[in-house]
Amino acid sequence: MKILFDSRTGNVKRFTEKLSLHCEQITKDTEVDEPFILITYTTGFGDLSAKTRHFLENNHGWLKGVAASGNRIWGDRFARSAHTIADTYGVPIIHTFELSGTSNDVHTFTQGVYSIDNINTTSSTKVGSA
């Protein structure tokens, strides 16, 4: 499963560096033609970054799940971007984590990726089966 991410302060990038999965940072021109999971951050008062919003407008058809970083000092707005994306595009939230995450966050996220990847593999295997 392709893992893409957006990071502004470096917290999400540091989280991806802890993963044993290949991750790629999105740019304003990133185009995707395969299933992916997005890891992003929350900005402002619980918003998506303009880059993440633009990326999803053009690539949401391949989105299979989302995770987001946040800071718990924002209370119910903590990692709100994951909820916004999940609600808008009908995908599961794999995990929300604070700042650059802990080893437990890495484990939880990785298990979530494998779970979604297995569902997609099973689904794609069944398509066209007689």
* 69 φ, ψ (degrees, to nearest 5): -95, 155
Helix (H, G, I), strand (E, B) or coil at 48: coil
Check pLDDT > 70 for residue 127.
Answer: no
Helix (H, G, I), strand (E, B) or coil at 1: coil
Helix (H, G, I), strand (E, B) or coil at 5: strand
52-63 pLDDT per residue, tens: 999 999 999 999
pLDDT value, residue 73? 76
Q: Where is average pLDDT lowest: 26-40, 91-105, 115-129?
A: 115-129
Check pLDDT > 60 for residue 128.
Answer: no
Whether 39 contacts 3, CB under 8 Å: yes
pLDDT value, residue 121? 56
* Count of beta carbons in the 10 Å neighbourhood of residue 107: 12
Q: How confident is the model at residue 122 (pLDDT cuts 50, 70, 90)?
A: low
Q: What is the mean pLDDT of residues 108-121?
A: 83
Cα–Cα distance, 86 to 96 (Å, whole number) = 12
15-54 pLDDT per residue, tens: 999 998 999 999 989 999 999 999 999 888 778 999 999 9
Cα–Cα distance, 80 to 129 (Å, whole number) = 39
Whether 6 contacts 38, CB under 8 Å: yes
Q: Secondary structure of the chain: what % helix, strand, coil (to 5)?
A: 45, 20, 30
C-alpha closest to that of 64 among 6, 120, 105: 120
pLDDT value, residue 83? 94
**Average pLDDT value for the chain:** 88
pTM here is 0.86
